[in-house]
Amino acid sequence: MDPLPIAVLISGRGTNLQSLINASLQGDFPARIAVVVSNKPGVEGLVRAARAGIRTAVFDHRTYESREAFDDAVRARIDASGARLVVLAGFMRRLSPAFVAHYRDRLINIHPSLLPAFPGLDVHRRVIESGARFSGCTVHFVRAELDAGPIILQAAVPVHPGDTEASLAARVLEMEHGALPQAVRWFAEGCIRVEGERVQVDGAAPPAGVLVNPFPAQANVS
Phi and psi at residue 189, in whole multiples of 5°?
-85, 0
Which residue is catalytic, options 61, 102, 111, 160? 111
Contacts of 101 (CB under 8 A, 6+ apart): 144
Give the number of other Cβ atoms within 10 Å of residue 69's Cβ: 14
Determine which helix (DSSP H) or strand (DSSP E) holds 69, and give its type and residue range: helix 67-81
State how far the Cα of 209 lies from the Cα of 216, in Å rounded to an integer. 15
Q: What single-letter amino acid sits at 218?
A: Q
Among the listed residues 56, 60, 105, 108, the one whose alpha carbon sits nearest the alpha carbon of residue 78: 56
Q: How many CB atoms lie within 10 A of CB 135?
A: 27
Catalytic (active site) residue 124: no
Q: Report the amino acid identity of residue 209.
A: G
Assess contact for 169 and 118: CB atoms under 8 A: no
Active site residues: 111
